[in-house]
Amino acid sequence: MKILQLCLKPPVPAKDGGCIAMDNITQGLLEAGHKVKILTIFTHKHDFEVEAMSAEYIEQTGIEGVFIDTRLNAVDAFSSILTSDSYNISRFFSTDFDIRLAKLLRKESFDIVHLESLFMTTYLATIRRLSKAPVVLRAHNVEHIIWEKTAIGTSGFFKRLYVKYLYRKLREYEVSMLNEVSAIAAISDDDHDRMKLLNVKKPIRTIPFGVDLMKYPHQPIQSAEVALFHLGAMDWGPNTEGVKWFLQSIWPEISTRFPALKLYLAGRNMPEEFKSLKLPNVEVIGEVENAIEFMQSKAIMIVPLLSASGVRVKIMEGLALGRAVVATPLAAEGLGCTHAEQLLIAENLSDWTNAISTVIENEELRNSLSLKGREHVRLNFDIRSVTTKLLQFYKEIRRS
């Protein structure tokens, strides 16, 4: 098959979980013998770094990028109220990208058009006009859920009012688009069920995030520093919210109980409020050069996520590398893990304190979590079996 993959940011280099998720689909399809063409947006946050792409990758994918300025703009935000558009979505529409897409579709035919995230559905009208290929939406999240939680936590009357408005418009748009695409590849069973509750009529199939374990060499957890770490893109609201909550609500008790325990905070675009922290034993690193080496050097990953949906790619990577993971129920969603088997699930202060205390004091548990977590990834999220599921879904949609 010949697949057109439309991305909201360049899959390479792998700067965050979204990039990794998109690139894994690309690599899985290529390895299975299919042709992939990538057309991607790039922005101030996610540049088009040709020097980070191999010559083979460029040749195989024919990757092209079109710059879009997605930064918040007060005039455009106000205009979206007057036009009743979803500003969250309209920021990702570009006439330049639309023209390049139209030119491509006039020149080449594709068997599938694969949209990476809801934000790329803004080009659906152009795709429908110029291509007969089924359009499959790869839903990385149920996007409006993130904004619903954001609205609840927003302070300030007028700001909260506007965020609620953004949530409502995004929800309307998302429900509409889920019924406009040909099919949806949900990233977890939980998101699959959420979409069904939205009365989505189009075919939905759970296609989990795939992992190539060859890229995640296993090193015994015994060789790692017994320390906590968080790794994630810190320009993503739910990550910032979760880390802030952990530092305010959980860390004081943990650091009192374990005065020598260190916490490492890593991730690109680290906000100044974290960089300026002066908390004992909290080391704010920011962006790391090699995420795998960083994770291998520490024993215990924390994922204190309070909002969002989908599957947390960084947890999957942590499990693949044999790290002991402590996560909120929401963060562990979609992984199919059992508490105290593949990871530890903690919700409130008592849960987190007990979980971290146990995993620090119990070396046998750390070793068990390390081995069982990696095995769980091997059995359930192998990139080749995930790609097979996706290709079967493509074939079913093309026949329907």
Q: Are 36 and 60 in contact (CB under 8 A)?
A: yes
The set of residues, in sequence order, having a beta carbon less than 8 Å from that of 38 and lying 6+ positions away, is: 5, 7, 11, 26, 61, 62, 63, 64
Integer Cα distance of 151 and 130 in angstroms: 38
State whether 223 and 146 are in the same domain: no
State whether 220 and 178 are in the same domain: no
State whether 226 and 184 are in the same domain: no
Query: What range does the domain containing 248 cover?
Result: 214-380
Helix (H) or strand (E) holding 113: strand 112-116
State whether 220 and 206 are in the same domain: no
Cα distances (angstroms) measured from residue 206 to each of 81, 365, 383 = 34, 31, 14
State whether 316 and 394 are in the same domain: no
Integer Cα distance of 384 and 180 in angstroms: 29
State whether 41 and 173 are in the same domain: yes
State whether 7 and 73 are in the same domain: yes
Q: What are phi and psi of 291, to 5 degrees?
A: -65, -40
Q: Compute CA 214 distance to the chain's CA centroid, rounded to the nearest angstrom.
A: 21
Q: Are 304 and 250 in contact (CB under 8 A)?
A: yes
- pTM listed for this prediction: 0.83
State whether 257 and 343 are in the same domain: yes
Q: What is the DSSP string of 153-220?
A: H--SHHHHHHHHHHHHHHHHHHHHHHTTSSEEEESSHHHHHHHHHTT--S-EEE-PPPB-GGGS----
Which amino acid is located at 255 in the chain? S
Return the ∠ at Cα 396 (arms to 390 and 400), rounded to 5°.
145
Q: Are 181 and 136 in contact (CB under 8 A)?
A: yes
State whether 187 and 255 are in the same domain: no
Which CATH number characterizes residue 222's domain? 3.40.50.2000
**Pair of tokens at residue 308:** 């969002």
Structural domains in the chain (count):
2
Helix (H) or strand (E) holding 268: none
CA dihedral (190, 194, 199, 201) positive or negative: negative
State whether 250 and 187 are in the same domain: no
What is residue 54's three-state secondary structure?
A: coil
State whether 153 and 68 are in the same domain: yes
Integer Cα distance of 365 and 77 in angstroms: 50
Integer Cα distance of 77 and 88 in angstroms: 9
State whether 230 and 346 are in the same domain: yes
- Looking at the DSSP bridge assignments, the partners of residue 4 are 37, 113
Integer Cα distance of 152 and 71 in angstroms: 23
Integer Cα distance of 393 and 380 in angstroms: 18
User: If the chain, 400 residues long, is cut into consecutive pieces of 10 residues, what is the mean pLDDT of each piece?
Assistant: 97 89 95 97 93 96 96 58 66 94 98 96 97 96 76 69 80 93 94 92 94 90 96 89 95 96 95 89 94 96 83 88 96 92 96 97 97 96 95 96
Is the peptide bond prior to 13 cis by the omega test (within 30 degrees of 0)?
A: yes
| CA nearest neighbour of 380 among 327, 342, 343, 336 | 336
